[in-house]
Amino acid sequence: MSEEKVLELAQGISAEVVGDRYNTPGMADAIRRAGAEGIVLLRNDDDVLPVGDERLALFGRCQVDTFYVGYGSGGDVKALHKVSVLDGLEAAGLRLDKELSRSYRDWCGANPVSAGEWGRWAYSYPEMPLDEEQIRRAAAENDKAIVVIGRAAGEDGDLSLKEGEYYLSQDERELLSQIDKSFEQVIVLLNIGNIIDLSWLSDYSHIKGAMIIWQLGQEMGHAVADVVTGRISPSGHLTQTIARRYEDYPSSAYFGDPDRNEYKEGLDVGYRGLYRTPERILYPFGYGLSYTTFEITGRGLSEAHGGFVMGAEIRNTGRRSGKGLAQVYLKKPNRSPELAAFAKSDELAPGESEYVELFIEKDQLDVFDPDSCSYIREKGDYGFFLGNSPIDLYSRQGSICIDRRQIVKKCETITESSDQLKQRIIDNMPDEIGTASDQRIDFSSVIKGEKRLCDFVAQLSPEELSDLSRGEGPMDSSLSVKGNTGVFGGITERLRSRGIPVVNTSDGPSGLRINYYCALLPIGTALAASYNPLLVEQMYEREADEMKHYGVDIFLGPGMNIQRNPLCGRNFEYYSEDPYLTGRIASAAVRGLERHGAAACIKHFACNDQETNRNRNDSCVDERTLREIYLKAFYMVIRDAHPKCIMTSYNKVNGVWSHYNYDLVTTLLRREWGFKGLVITDWWMQMAESPEFPGVRDNAYRVRAGVNVLMPGGLGVDVASFIHDDNIERTLTLGELQKNAAEVLGFIRDLKRDQDYGSCL
Ligand code: BGC
């Protein structure tokens, strides 16, 4: 199949929508609350926000053509409805300039926008031209101007350093200049998924207020209105550092190469690198204003529950109610501070306070030492600080001193040479599951716990084992819910006759990508910016209810790659430049999704931090950086939330495609981390031969690496060569194929049991 064909299929779910509009109980409210809590107030000079009964002139076409989500599989939801910024502010009863808003509505109607082409998306739209007279009238008749600046990004392409992408477009500059000349008080609402250049905020002397309103899904306008009007005080905080210039980002010199993506900045991702040059930071990680003020006072640090507990009192010292955020940073010897815990208060009235406890796991003290291939605790002082950001640590709450270097955990390397890898693969070859005496076990009796999984597997033929290692083939499979992203499991008559059900998948993460009207959720970055895992968990619990309604088994999300660089096209789906924050928020999403039996599929494992040439790109990362930055969040989610499924990435990691990467998937994920669930590929994989076993190719190579299912599927393992030749240099062993099937079926068994349990609740 040609690469173009593959790409076309990988994108292909029709836009047709069927069925009724199912409103998941409580979903709209959960989306609105989570969205509003993610909004980050950057600037609020002269208390220009919130607005009350002032007369407001609303500018910028994105008030009508609001970006609700980014482009690609992570945003392709047939939304139930969408509330634009203009609709939301109007519904909130604000005194908007009616004539101006009407002009925007009419002009946007007459000049419709298009998303562009797959991978070459419309990142920004042309602005409505305004003449001097219109601006003069609006300035004369209104007290404040609000300008909505919008930017989107999407899958399979990165933003570039062009106007209208990372930089403001000419249209946007022109609009801002016109408004800045005529209005005394200007508020900018940034309707963005990626961080863009924001150095221009200080180029216009009348910009008093600036707020990142992100892309907040279907309730966008309402959530924005909640914060603009002060019904809710902003409590979102940045999940990425905003540098003064693109060149200031530590990854900027190394990002974007189509072939080799060298992670030369190493550990210095985002604030970890910029910490040493704070003058390059425009707004730091963790930053976010409120309409009120908080005093956060530490109440000491103690050792408890196998880690450390810091107490803190969050007191509202201002004149409005709001939620405060306590951030704990850990400063290890010779390292930049790292976010180690955070806790948000409930809504506090002026004068009110709340005591929060922040837990810091002991392993946060550890660093990876590549020489001994182990996690170690360095000799020296470890300081625990409260801070508003890594560059604003205001109170040391405690410290511990380690008097000698300690090895905490010895590991197997995951970046070793091919020879040693081959020996390790051979040493760990799974045994064959003996031939079954009973050839008629139905899978339903395995689900019920009456029969053993291995006895069921033992009766399967090589063809059946092979069919379990692949999806059916097409997206929108006729075997399942309309518009599904692909199915596996009972994909043939034979497998179904044995009682194996069809298992379907749907993207994620901003809602279900099926041919029904579904809820459109806020983007990942906005959710993380809420620093409120509970809110995220509650929202995704409702998403699971929607999955149950439509019969969706696996939600392909959350997306949890690290925001290494602001240009990455899929940053909107991801959470943060920080692995700890990513791990906490992704765990919350998984817990919500899986609470009543559905399966989450965390993705993309690993280092899919760039979209340019993502199918062939090689992410070249040293083992320390890999483990401490790019894998840590995955580890946290597996440890804390036990997701049922994980998806490999399209790209290579240190020369080996993730879907063939034995060290990532077997050595690390399964053996070191103890992952017991299902590993699936991203949608299609590159065909290749194993360097360790040159006769082993494609799906056999993948199964040997420990990647269970090729999605959306098509060809399985070449069974003929396997039956006629059991030489491991040339083919898989029966034991390997059986182990693979046992993992797939173990997943299906657990899923069906949990779904059954969920439906009794
Ligand atoms: C994306 C995945 C997505 C899959 C199915 C791929 O192109 O990388 O995130 O889940 O398509 O739509």
Distance CA(406)–CA(399), nearest Å, equals 17
The residue whose CA is least distant from atom 5 of ligand 1 is: 683
Cα 740 vs. chain centroid, distance in angstroms? Answer: 28
pTM surpassing 0.95? yes
Q: How confident is the model at residue 11 (pLDDT cuts 50, 70, 90)?
A: low
Residue among 469, 471, 501 nearest 487 (CA): 471
pLDDT digits (tens, 9 = 90+) for 172-189: 999 999 999 999 999 999
Alpha-helical (H) ranges within 326-442 are 418-427
Q: For position 12, what pLDDT does the model report?
A: 59
Minimum CA distance residue for ligand 1 atom 7: 683
Kindly state the tokens that stand for 753.
């049991």
- Tens-place pLDDT, residues 538-587: 999 999 999 999 999 999 999 999 999 999 999 999 999 999 999 999 99
Residue nearest to atom 2 of ligand 1 (CA): 682
Cβ(614) to ligand 1 under 6 A?
no
Q: Is 84 in the pocket of ligand 1 (CB under 6 A)?
A: no
Q: How confident is the model at residue 462 (pLDDT cuts 50, 70, 90)?
A: very high
Pocket of ligand 1 contains residue 683 by CB under 6 Å: yes
Helix (H, G, I), strand (E, B) or coil at 132: helix
Q: Ligand 1: which atom is nearest the Cα of residue 601?
A: 10
Edge-to-edge strand list for the sheet holding 599-605: 486-489, 502-507, 554-556, 599-605, 645-648, 678-683, 709-711
Question: Residue 601: CB within 6 Å of ligand 1?
Answer: no
The residue-averaged pLDDT of 362-366 equals 98
- pLDDT(10) > 60: no
Q: How far is residue 551 from each of residues 513, 585, 589, measured CA to CA in Å?
A: 13, 25, 19
Residue 142 CA to ligand 1 centre (angstroms):
46
Tokens of 142: 């209104």
pLDDT tens per residue across span 229-256: 999 999 999 999 999 999 999 999 999 9
Residue 5 binned pLDDT confidence (cut-offs 50, 70, 90): very low
pLDDT above 70: residue 1: no
Nearest protein Cα to ligand 1, atom 12 = 73
Active site residues: 682
3-state secondary structure 153-215: CECCCCCCCCECCCECCHHHHHHHHHHHHHCCCEEEEEEECCCCCCHHHHCCCCEEEEEECCC
Contacts of 536 (CB under 8 A, 6+ apart): 34, 527, 530, 585, 588, 589, 592
Q: Are strands 281-283 and 260-262 parallel, antiparallel or unpaired?
A: unpaired
**How many Å lie between the centroid of ligand 1 and the Cα of residue 647?**
9
Mean pLDDT over each residue of the chain, to the nearest integer = 95
Ligand 1 pocket test, candidate residues 7, 118, 488, 507, most atoms within 8 A of CB:
507
Q: Is 654 in the pocket of ligand 1 (CB under 6 A)?
A: no
Q: Does the beta carbon of 682 sit less than 6 angstroms from any atom of ligand 1?
A: yes
In the predicted structure, residue 3 carries a pLDDT above the cut 70:
no
Tell me the C-alpha distance between 566 and 190, whole Å: 15
Q: Domains, the chain, ranges and CATH?
A: 38-283 (3.40.50.1700), 294-365+374-410 (2.60.40.10), 445-757 (3.20.20.300)
C-alpha neighbours within 13 Å on the C-beta side of residue 398: 14
pLDDT at 750 over 70: yes
| DSSP codes, 212-280 | E----GGGHHHHHHHHHTTSS------SS-EESSGGGSTTTTTTT-SSEEE-TTTT--THHHHTT-GGG
Is the bond into 305 cis (omega within 30 degrees of 0)?
A: no
Spatial neighbors of 501 by CB under 8 A, at least 6 apart, are 443, 489, 490, 748, 752
Atom of ligand 1 nearest to the CA of 712: 5
Bridge partners, residue 410, by sequence? 374
Q: Which atom of ligand 1 is nearest to the CA of 486?
A: 5
Q: Tell which atom from ligand 1 comes closest to the C-alpha of 573.
A: 9
Q: What is the pLDDT of residue 4?
A: 44
| Nearest atom, ligand 1, residue 556 CA | 10
User: What is d(CA 37, CA 233) in angstroms, rounded to the nearest whole number?
Assistant: 9
Buried b or exposed e, range 503-539, using 16+ CB within 10 angstroms = bbbbbbbbbbbbbbbbbbbbbbbbbbbbbbbebbbbb
What is the best residue among 556, 570, 709 to mutate for testing ligand 1's pocket, by most ligand atoms within 8 Å of CB? Answer: 556
As a whole number of Å, the CA-based R_g of the chain is: 26
Residue 738: CB within 6 Å of ligand 1? no
Of 617, 683, 710, best ligand 1 pocket probe by most atoms within 8 Å of the beta carbon? 683
pLDDT of 759 over the 80 cut: no
User: Does the pLDDT value for residue 65 go beyond 50?
Assistant: yes
Confidence of residue 717 (pLDDT cuts 50, 70, 90): confident
d(CA 386, CA 331): 11
Question: How far does residue 39's CA lie from ligand 1's centre (Å)?
Answer: 27
Q: Ligand 1 centroid to 349 CA: how many Å?
A: 44
Query: Measured in angstroms, how far is the CA atom of residue 682 from the centroid of ligand 1?
Result: 6
**Which atom of ligand 1 approaches the CA of 513 most closely?**
12
- 747 in the Ramachandran plot: left (φ > 0), alpha (ψ -120 to 50) or beta? alpha
Paired strand residues for 322: 348
Ligand 1 within 6 A of 10 CB? Answer: yes
Give the pLDDT score at 2. Answer: 42
Ligand 1 neighbour 556 (Cβ under 6 A): yes
Q: Maximum distance among all alpha carbons in the chain?
A: 89
| The predicted structure's pLDDT at residue 455 | 95
Mean pLDDT of 96-117: 97
Task: Give tens-digit pLDDT for 135-165.
Answer: 999 999 999 999 999 999 999 999 999 999 9
Tens of pLDDT, residues 635-688: 999 999 999 999 999 999 999 999 999 999 999 999 999 999 999 999 999 999
Given a cut of 70, whether residue 367 has pLDDT beyond it is: yes
Ligand 1 centroid to residue 759 C-alpha, Å: 28
pLDDT of residue 758: 72
